[in-house]
Amino acid sequence: MLIKTAEFVISNSDVDKCPKDMLPEYAFIGRSNVGKSSLINMLTNHKNLAKTSGRPGKTQLINHFLINKNWFLVDLPGYGYAKVSKTAKRKFQKFITNYFEKRKQLVSAFVLVDIRHEPQKIDLEFMEYLGISEIPFSIIFTKADKLKPKAIERNVEYYCQELLKTWEELPPHFVSSSSKAIGRDEVLQFIGNTNLQINTMR
């Protein structure tokens, strides 16, 4: 899929105020500082579409970006951010779960995971939540440029083995690097193929 247009539409913390269009939506979420904004900018080939920051937890709202006028990329707040107040964290979690449970336009989530680290409890718990809620998701391993090919292969294999301890089958997964545009074609092709299937079923 070639991205011709990518435009910011709206930010808010109220799911009921999200766009009313019935266009397919793909939500990107992960722990704070996993490289989500950089990944979104890489996928859309825009330097500043999503605001990047050295300060984790920059994204604190549901952000909708309209891609090619026919689907939405949704940038969600990172979970597990330690440096916000408990009240703010509860509010984040509330509107994140509201989004996942109420948003009928949601087709799939992409859970971002730092490829350099072993499986983190908070990521596994979030994937379990998606599974229980019957929300389709894929995993995007980020920051692949920080490791050598053999280490990437080993870490992904280990992660998959950990998942298979509780999952009957693995979700789709992609390896990415925002600085080297690794994984862009694969992720966009997955979204493009999914959109085609949706259009065929209509």
Range of the domain at 163: 6-201
Q: Quote the pTM value.
A: 0.90
- CATH classification of the domain holding 111: 3.40.50.300
> Is 14 inside any structural domain?
yes
Number of domains the chain contains: 1
Q: What residue type is 134 in one-letter code? A: E
Ranges of the chain whose pLDDT falls below 50: 53-58, 82
> Is 29 inside any structural domain?
yes
> Is 46 inside any structural domain?
yes
Distance, in Å, from the CA atom of 167 to the CA atom of 173, rounded to the nearest integer, reads: 14
User: What's the Cα-to-Cα distance from 12 to each of 8, 28, 178, rounded to whole Å?
Assistant: 12, 15, 26
Residues 6+ apart with CB under 8 A from 54: none
> Is 83 inside any structural domain?
yes
> Is 189 inside any structural domain?
yes
DSSP classification of residue 144: G
> Is 45 inside any structural domain?
yes
Q: Note the pLDDT tens digit of each residue in 107-145.
A: 999 999 999 999 999 899 899 999 999 999 999 999 999
Tokens of 187: 């992720």
> Is 1 inside any structural domain?
no
pLDDT the model gives residue 54: 46
